[in-house]
Structure 1
């Protein structure tokens, strides 16, 4: 089992949440400052940015099949990379965008669901 921090379309009530139907929600979580969340229209992408804001999301425990499905959705490693981060629920994976974000709008408050 792996823990995953999700901040966009995988969150409860969002378009890709169905991929987490077999996952266990551990809870809502806010990462400390250090991220910028970009709006791509239908989905977001987060990047590490020392001067950035907090990032709001949820932490799930997923099995290997679900984790592999998330890698496919996130086009890992070509579009998103993943890193382990500390959350309120222990270490969890986060998908971070690796391509250019030049000219894209920023969701300054860091919460995709409140855009």
Structure 2
């Protein structure tokens, strides 16, 4: 049900917004939502947007395992809230090589661009 709500959403949702939307389905505590989100993120169906402390359904079919060098980044519109997911294996490999060359062992990487989407920029122009 959590994934269904995220897939139907027009933008990112916080865990508490999800809880409010799922109360009629028996969800009563934030922990229920957080547990579901934890599994969905781990399995690659959902992404957590760090800068918003919110979640979006994955929009691209790709492997989220650590061994896959695919890099995922998000472009987040500050005006309308649209989130665009971008993924690139070559860029991911280059970033892994770059970080690895320092001896640093990365556990997690989050790349988020904040700004204005093309539609909102056209309206403002």
The structure whose residues are more often helix, as a share, is: 2
Could you state the TM-score of these two structures normalised by the residue count of structure 2? Answer: 0.24
Greater relative CO (CA pairs within 8 A, separation 6+): 1
TM-score norm. by structure 1 comes to 0.26
Normalized per residue, the structure richer in strand is 1
